[in-house]
Structure 1
Amino acid sequence: MRFSSIYIGDVKVKAIKYKVVIRVGFLGAFQIGVRSVGVATPEEVTVNLVKKSHINFRPDKRLRKMLQNVEFTHSES
């Protein structure tokens, strides 16, 4: 399987266009989201209302469960 920066860019474009959720094994899922200004009617919606894009991460239930049992200890360097 070939990975390149162009291929990664293509995946991002498709994810935005088709609202794809990308699952990464037991880690969880990534999804593209946007922040925008709210408006009252669909006619008021424009691209200029989008203020920021970001990536949402939703951890898998197995990862969330594992994090509930994590223990921390102090280690000396």
Structure 2
Amino acid sequence: LLHYLVINLNCQRFRDSGFEYIKFYVWGTLVIYIASFVIMVAEDFACDGFGMPLFLIWYFATFSLLLLAPPDSNSLNK
């Protein structure tokens, strides 16, 4: 449920900043989540594996990108 809320909030922020290809973000995020889970299972949930860092890099990179994203100027003038 938490990941659904994060994806939903990020999609709203993308929409507000004028990003038109939100489907690519959603599918890319799902691919990263699934790939990181598969890698974690393959590594027996090892803390020094690559699955969790992959997930965290994507999570915080998206957060940082959206933190710096400007709002859409067209929506401000309505």
TM-score, length basis structure 2: 0.22
Query: Normalized per residue, which structure has more strand?
Result: 1
Bigger Rg over Cα: 1
Query: Which structure exhibits the higher relative contact order, with contacts defined as CA atoms closer than 8 Å and separated by 6 or more residues?
Result: 2
